[in-house]
Structure 1
Amino acid sequence: MAGRIVVGVDGSEQSLKALRWAAGQAALTGDSLQAVMGWEYPASWATAPGVPPDFHPEQLAEQSLDEALSQALDPAVAAGVTRTVVSGNPAQALVDQAEGASLLVVGDRGHAGFKAAVLGSVSTRVTQHAPCSVVVVRGE
């Protein structure tokens, strides 16, 4: 019985590596692949001057996700990927989307120690809270 693999994509090289790894795993297991991009307004959004009235961050996130898929995957593979854009904290979006999935895949930016504690880490959060197994794709 085929399952579903959820992969977090933010356009970074690390997330593209995770996307390629997840696509390879899905090909091996017969699972479907769901690419998820979470976005949220920056804290300074309300006071930011000059934000165009026709600016739609969700559309920008959808475009970024499409670009990441076309950059990382063969067009035939990319066409079969379910695309999900979620407004909210990216780590929480991945945890929520992973409900019922067989696997959650994320990239690792390589931050450690104090820098990781200050910046927060999507990979750390999802490994602690995901409702399924998690693979963190690291470096080379």
Structure 2
Amino acid sequence: MIDQEHVPDHRIVVGVDNSDGSLEALRWALAHARLTGGTVEAVTAWQVPPMYAYAYGWTPTGIDDAGIIRYAEKTLHETVEQAQGSDDQAVAVTTRIMEGPAAQVLLDAGKGADLMVLGSRGHGVFAGMLLGSVSQHCVQHATCPTVVIPEQTGP
């Protein structure tokens, strides 16, 4: 019988959705990965809006999934490039685009990870103090520690 050594997963999962908050979360995750020797997995979720199929009483014959995926890939790669900048201490970053509700996609991606990092969204003075629904769901149900990076309000 061969003993298998458990290799720790120093993977940091980051939710990226083309928002300023997710860009800040990715920047934070990259800095944390540099300090801890971790890797970053940038994850984007996509799905066809459920109401799309029922708009105006008709059902579309086909939805351009390939177009949605191409757009998601483009924005994910642009966000990763923007977050990395011209950093001399590059961190290994993998990207994944997965179909499904964002919270569930992130929870699935976070299984076995060292850490999950998400951005928060605010809409006004009071709502800015609350977590967004995806962040809130992930904080409550993630199987790994989860960090929520608040939206930057100043320079």
Provide the TM-score with structure 2 as the length reference: 0.76
The match for 2:97 is 85
| 63-72 vs 7-16, which moves further | 63-72
The match for 1:65 is 76
User: What is the Cα deviation at residue 43 of structure 1?
Assistant: 1.9
Which segments of 5 or more consecutive residues in structure 2 lack a partner in the other structure? Answer: 1-7
Whole-angstrom CA distance in 2 between matches of 1:81 and 1:39: 20
The match for 1:122 is 134
Residue 12 (1) aligns with residue 23 (2) = no
User: What is the Cα deviation at residue 74 of structure 1?
Assistant: 2.2
Cα gap change, 1:102/1:45 in structure 2, threshold over 3 Å: closer, same or farther?
Answer: same
Which segments of 5 or more consecutive residues in structure 1 lack a partner in the other structure? Answer: none
Provide the TM-score with structure 1 as the length reference: 0.83
User: What is the Cα deviation at residue 53 of structure 1?
Assistant: 5.6
For residues 8-35 of structure 1, the C-alpha deviation after alignment (integer angstroms, 9 at most, x for no partner) is 0001000000000000000000011100
Cα gap change, 1:129/1:55 in structure 2, threshold over 3 Å: closer, same or farther?
Answer: same
Residue 25 (1) aligns with residue 32 (2) = yes
Whole-angstrom CA distance in 2 between matches of 1:54 and 1:91: 20
Rg comparison, structure with higher value: 2
- The one-letter code matched in structure 2 to 1:70 is E
- The one-letter code matched in structure 2 to 1:94 is L
Identity %: 43
Cα gap change, 1:27/1:86 in structure 2, threshold over 3 Å: closer, same or farther?
Answer: same
Query: Size of the alignment, in residue pairs?
Result: 134
Whole-angstrom CA distance in 1 between matches of 2:11 and 2:65: 35
SS in 2 for 1:106: strand
Decide which of 70, 74, 95 is 2:107's aligned counterpart: 95
SS in 2 for 1:93: helix
- The one-letter code matched in structure 2 to 1:65 is L
For residues 82-121 of structure 1, the C-alpha deviation after alignment (integer angstroms, 9 at most, x for no partner) is 00000000111000000000000000002566xx79xx61
User: What is the Cα deviation at residue 60 of structure 1?
Assistant: 1.3
Cα gap change, 1:88/1:53 in structure 2, threshold over 3 Å: closer, same or farther?
Answer: closer
Whole-angstrom CA distance in 1 between matches of 2:44 and 2:139: 17
The match for 1:45 is 52
| Runs of 4 or more above 4 Å deviation | 51-55
For residues 29-78 of structure 1, the C-alpha deviation after alignment (integer angstroms, 9 at most, x for no partner) is 001110000111012332567x8868521121111101111122225637
